[in-house]
């Protein structure tokens, strides 16, 4: 079985699980196991946590999103979750297919701060992504509990994302002597941070809480995705393997 085939299998299982019944749940659990197997395979191959290139990062984000949904499904018992929930791990897994698997890193990346940066970034990105999907669910069903969950997931994701920026700045300073660069990529990272800051503050206003906040938070996933995957090829920022 080639790695590409394995990814396509678990992504398809995530897609199939959208049907939502008992079979759907089993497909979801199957996908999760296969997904975990793929991550273990990559870890063994790289002999480290697979977070050093875009392919592996998307796979990890997708896995964390899938795991968090499991928590929502069993612990929070959110209605109709299975009909929407696999959308995020499916999308991220399919996106990973388009990125080359890289088995080496530059000497500069071989730092505990880099790994900390990446792990926090992946966790933050996944949680904010789940927040966006929950926002979409709220817009469809208008359950205030779902909107509350969207806020909690987004806030947790934003805090982890902020911590990742701190770790990333420390790493970049140790590697290059600067903690901030004026490039389109860094500006978009800042845009994402401000975008979610806007959402978190807007939700404190009664006039914006609910529909507007949910829409704004849900759209954040697109801003985040563009910031991570779109800025370099579209705006022409310097390429990095992560």
How many CB atoms lie under 10 A from the CB of residue 58?
Answer: 24
Tell me the closest approach of the beta carbon of residue 90 to another protein, in angstroms. 26
Under the criterion CB under 8 A, does residue 240 sit at the interface with another protein?
Answer: no
What is the rounded distance in angstroms from the CA atom of residue 19 to the CA atom of residue 217? 26
CA 73/CA 93 separation, integer angstroms: 20
To another protein, the closest distance from the beta carbon of 157 in angstroms equals: 12
Task: Pick the piece of the chain touching another protein (CB under 8 A) from 19-27, 35-43, 79-87, 151-159.
Answer: 151-159
> Of 24 and 220, which CB lies nearer to another protein in the complex structure?
220
What Å distances lie between residue 93 and 19, 82, 219, CA to CA? Answer: 19, 17, 20
Q: Which of 190, 169, 189 is nearest to 180 (CA)?
A: 169
Min dist. Cβ of residue 27 to another protein (A): 26
Distance of CA 229 to the CA centre of its chain: 12
Decide: helix, strand or coil at residue 140.
helix
Interaction of residue 6 with another protein, rule CB under 8 A: no
Query: Of 206, 84, 79, 201, which Cα lies nearest the Cα of 143?
Result: 79
| Member of 18, 49, 139, 174 binding another protein (CB under 8 A) | 174
142 lines the binding site for another protein (CB under 8 A): no
Stretch that binds another protein, among 19-27, 31-39, 62-70, 228-236 (CB under 8 A): 228-236
Q: Which two tokens stand for residue 234?
A: 């579209």
* 229 binds another protein per the rule CB under 8 A: no
Quick one: 8 or 159, whose CB is closer to another protein?
159
Q: How many CA atoms lie within 13 A of 85 on its CB side?
A: 29
Distance, CA of 78 to CA of 100 (rounded, Å): 36
Nearer to another protein, 27 or 118 (CB): 118
Tell which one of 173, 211, 222, 240 touches another protein (CB under 8 A): 173
Q: Which of residues 65-124 bind another protein (CB under 8 A)?
A: 75, 103-111, 113-114
Nearest one of 112, 95, 98, 104 to 171, comparing CA atoms:
112
From 6, 70, 97, 187, residue interacting with another protein (rule: CB under 8 A): 187
Q: What's the rounded Cα separation, in Å, for the pair 110 and 97?
A: 25
When asked if residue 242 is in the footprint of another protein (CB under 8 A), the reply is no
Q: How far apart are CA 189 and CA 235, in angstroms?
A: 13
Q: Taking CB under 8 A as the rule, does residue 204 contact another protein?
A: yes
Binding site for another protein (CB under 8 A): 46-48, 75, 103-111, 113-114, 152, 155-156, 159, 162-163, 166, 169-171, 173-184, 187-188, 190-191, 194-195, 197-198, 201-202, 204-205, 231, 235-237
């Amino acid at each position: 079985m080639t790695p590409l085939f394995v990814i396509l299998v678990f992504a398809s299982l995530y897609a199939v699980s959208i049907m939502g019944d008992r079979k759907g749940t089993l497909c979801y659990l199957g996908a999760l196991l296969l997904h975990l197997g793929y991550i273990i395979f990559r870890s063994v191959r790289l002999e480290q946590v697979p977070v050093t290139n875009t392919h592996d990062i998307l796979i990890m984000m997708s896995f964390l999103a899938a795991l968090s949904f499991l928590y929502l499904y069993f612990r929070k018992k959110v209605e109709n979750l299975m009909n929407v929930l696999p959308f995020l791990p499916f999308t991220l897994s399919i996106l990973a297919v388009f990125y080359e698997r890289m088995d080496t890193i530059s000497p500069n990346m071989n730092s505990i701060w880099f790994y900390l940066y990446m792990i926090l970034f992946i966790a933050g990105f996944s949680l904010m992504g789940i927040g966006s999907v929950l926002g979409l669910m709220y817009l469809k069903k208008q359950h205030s509990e779902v909107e509350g969950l969207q806020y909690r997931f987004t806030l947790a994701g934003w805090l982890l994302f902020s911590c990742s920026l701190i770790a990333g700045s420390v790493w970049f300073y140790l590697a290059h002597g600067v903690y901030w660069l004026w490039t389109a990529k860094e500006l978009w990272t800042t845009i994402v941070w401000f975008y979610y800051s806007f959402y978190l503050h807007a939700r404190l206003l009664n006039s914006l809480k609910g529909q507007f906040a949910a829409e704004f938070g849900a759209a954040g996933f697109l801003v985040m995705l563009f910031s991570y995957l779109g800025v370099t090829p579209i705006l022409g920022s310097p390429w990095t393997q992560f």
